């Protein structure tokens, strides 16, 4: 069982986490949801299309303009409070590595702290424990926040992913985070080259077999772009193919830009696996 906010998700229930960027320089939408109204519209649309979680981020993952904690809080906390007011049942996640930001957004009503940089601020897990919220524990290969991988190497990338993510998850539970609110994330692109991310996908069943719910953040990432030699706006098909493989290997949560398309892929995989009946069944019945 996975319990986040007011929601409980069954063992075979795939969960979509919709990305809402509160940044002016997002790699994907170049600031389309930086202002409040477009961002609130994005939340409405994502929920209507099947997202159970919205993941709000105030700092782009890659290099760019410096954003201090105060500015990150300004971009996220008030918005979290408004989403909470409008959507009491949606699970609100905030993508941050800073404990100060974690404090502010939890006060505003966040349900999950999505730590994409692998515990670089160990106090963030303490915040999650204190507020009783969920936590995403990610493998980032020891990279500093907002840096790109450079000549990174692993003897065994999945062994390192497992060591780091399971270690972070166990530490979080020891601090008081509920076990059924902790997720682990292989961290595609973070501290990895394209071959590392492909291998992490291929061996994802090694993560899912740990028993920790696995979150994958695949959407339009560089490893998809390099694998197919496609720019950001032409990576949807590669993302969906990777999503289908990840679903078959047991991932539970999917952080995405394109919610409706992802929903169809996850429903199809669930039906093939026998966990979901067809929406309709007419052929051969008359």
Instruction: Tell me the catalytic residues.
Output: 221, 255
Contact 180, 1 (CB under 8 A): yes
DSSP secondary structure string for all residues of 55-96: EEESS-SSS-S---HHHHHHHHHHHHHHHHHH-TTSEEEEE-
The distance between the two most distant Cα atoms of the chain, rounded to a whole number of Å, is: 64
Question: Distance (Å, rounded) from C-alpha 18 to C-alpha 234?
Answer: 19
Contact 34, 21 (CB under 8 A): yes
Location of structure tokens 């303009």: 65
């Amino acid at each position: 069982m996975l319990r986040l906010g007011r929601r409980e998700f069954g063992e075979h229930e795939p969960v979509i986490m919709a990305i809402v960027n509160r940044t002016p320089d997002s790699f994907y939408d170049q600031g389309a949801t930086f202002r409040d109204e477009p961002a609130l519209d994005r939340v409405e649309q994502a929920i209507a299309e099947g997202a159970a979680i919205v993941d709000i981020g105030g700092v782009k993952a890659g290099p760019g303009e410096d954003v201090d904690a105060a500015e990150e809080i300004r971009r996220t906390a008030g918005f979290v409070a408004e989403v909470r007011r409008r959507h009491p049942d949606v699970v609100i996640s905030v993508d941050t590595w800073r404990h100060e930001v974690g404090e502010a957004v939890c006060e505003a009503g966040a349900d999950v702290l999505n730590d994409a940089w692998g515990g670089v601020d160990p106090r963030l897990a303490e915040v999650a424990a204190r507020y009783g919220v969920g936590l995403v524990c990610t493998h980032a290969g020891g990279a500093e926040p907002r840096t790109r991988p450079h000549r990174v190497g692993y003897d065994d990338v999945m062994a390192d992913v497992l060591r780091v993510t399971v270690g972070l998850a166990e530490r979080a539970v020891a601090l008081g985070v509920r076990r059924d609110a902790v997720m682990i994330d292989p961290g595609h692109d973070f501290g990895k080259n394209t071959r590392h991310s492909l291998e992490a996908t291929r061996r994802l069943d090694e993560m899912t077999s740990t028993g920790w719910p696995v979150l994958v953040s695949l959407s339009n990432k560089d490893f998809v772009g390099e694998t197919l030699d496609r720019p950001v706006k032409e990576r949807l098909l590669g993302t969906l193919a990777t999503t289908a493989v990840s679903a078959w290997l047991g991932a539970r949560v999917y952080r995405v830009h394109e919610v409706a398309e992802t929903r169809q892929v996850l429903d199809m995989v669930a039906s093939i696996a026998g966990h979901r009946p067809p929406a309709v069944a007419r052929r051969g019945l008359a």
